[in-house]
A = this chain, B = another copy of it.
Amino acid sequence: VATEDELIRATIERYQSTFSAGDREGWLALFAEDAALEDPVGSPPRQGRDDIAAFWDDVHRRADAITVRMVQGPAVCGDEAAWAFETVVQTGGQSVMISIIDLGSFDADGRIRRLRAFWDASGIRRA
């Protein structure tokens, strides 16, 4: 039986791999039904899987490909975790890299209850 720590790490790993693979349903399944996604921090949270699916569609409509690469972590503390990563967004021949730090809280099954993405203009550059 996996510990909560192991479940959380597995969720974060799948979060990164499904995102890079463009696996919308696999990515959505990682969220609890009533999860909240705040991306970037300070924007109105997307609430529930339908709203989070709409976020995925918004992001992917504008890009040809999006991949992510872990930079540091995850550091798992109880039912919370933080990790630093870079995402590369390719749009018509151009690539932009965005440095992001995600902060997540998880339920007992390792599903995401709340995810907050910290990024700002200082972390965006041509790739």
A-side residues, CB < 8 A to B, are 40-42, 71-73, 75-78, 80-84, 99-101, 103, 118-120, 122-123
CA A82 – CA B81 in complex, angstroms?
Answer: 13
Partner of A84, one of B40, B72, B119, B120: B72
Find out whether the CB atom of A101 lies under 8 angstroms from the CB atom of B80: no
Report copies per complex: 2
Q: A71-B71, A101-B101, A103-B103 are in contact. Are A120 and B76 (CB under 8 A)?
A: yes
Find out whether the CB atom of A75 lies under 8 angstroms from the CB atom of B100: yes
> Which residue of A84, A100, A103 has the most chain B CB atoms within 10 A of its CB atom?
A84
Find out whether the CB atom of B82 lies under 8 angstroms from the CB atom of A73: no
Find out whether the CB atom of A75 lies under 8 angstroms from the CB atom of B99: yes
Partner of A119, one of B75, B103, B122: B75
Q: Which residue of B lies closest to A38 (CB)?
A: B77
Q: Which residue of B lies closest to A103 (CB)?
A: B103
Find out whether the CB atom of B82 lies under 8 angstroms from the CB atom of A101: yes
Find out whether the CB atom of B40 lies under 8 angstroms from the CB atom of A77: yes
Which residues of B are found within 8 Å of A118, using beta-carbon distances? 73, 75, 77, 80-82, 103
A35 to chain B, nearest CB (A): 19
